[in-house]
Amino acid sequence: MDQFNHRGLFLSVLFPDEKRSELGRSYLTDVSSAQIDTAIDFLLEHETVLDPTISLDLIRNLPWGTPVETVEPEVTKIAYELFEGKRFLRGVSPDRAREVEADVKRAMEIIGDFYRAGVPIVAGTDNVVPVYSLYLEIESYHRLGGLTPFEAIRTATIIPAEAMGLDAETGTLEIGKQADIAILDENPLLDIGNIRTVSAVMTNGHYYESAPLWRAADFGASRN
């Protein structure tokens, strides 16, 4: 399996003959449809999987003073020491934030183009809050990339399984397959944000409710 990770993937497939230093800071905003078509042909020919990990860009390029919770509401579930140690929580200047916002928006539009052309897109997990920020990645594929909620969810389920050659064993709920099952209170196909409404998980034949586990852990993200 060949794979590109992070937003730099666009640099390599859209600008194969140019060095990073030769491009402007917002190099994606002026990408042409011809460049996208050429990149799609290359990716399909080489059966390449893309892992954009776009949520990391959304969080570490917030304007100075903007609470991380504005884009990642689960940040309170990270350990205090880890939260304080996240270097990118400082944010960036308003001008730089606007540049990155435009760049990320264009990046997500291109991701949508790739997906609709048949290029496998998988949800990246290199992010701020372990496990929880995967939600932001999936939400971004829908809200910014134009994927349907169902298509966005597939980037974290069956598509990764197919990419690793494990789709006969996992990736969908079917007889004979293995799966950890998240029980949601609300339907994510109606609102992609409902993927965050997990109330219980079934794994290895056991049923775990979320609320009692949080109470038992007595965990908080502050020193109080």
Q: Would you list the DSSP string of 79-146? A: -HHHHHT-GGGG-B-HHHHHHHHHHHHHHHHHHHHHHHTT--B-----SSSTTTHHHHHHHHHHHTT-
Q: What ranges do the domains of the chain cover?
A: 2-170
pLDDT per position in the chain (224 positions), as tens?
A: 555 666 666 667 888 887 767 776 667 777 889 999 999 999 999 999 999 888 888 888 888 888 888 888 887 777 766 666 555 567 889 898 888 888 888 889 999 999 999 999 999 777 677 778 899 999 999 999 999 999 999 999 999 999 999 999 999 999 999 999 999 999 999 999 999 999 999 999 999 998 888 888 776 544 33
Query: Going by C-beta distance under 8 Å and a sequence separation of 6 or more, which residues neighbour residue 55?
Result: 72, 124, 127, 128, 133, 136, 137, 140
CA–CA gap between residue 59 and residue 67 (Å, rounded): 10
**Considering the entire predicted model, what is its pTM?**
0.86
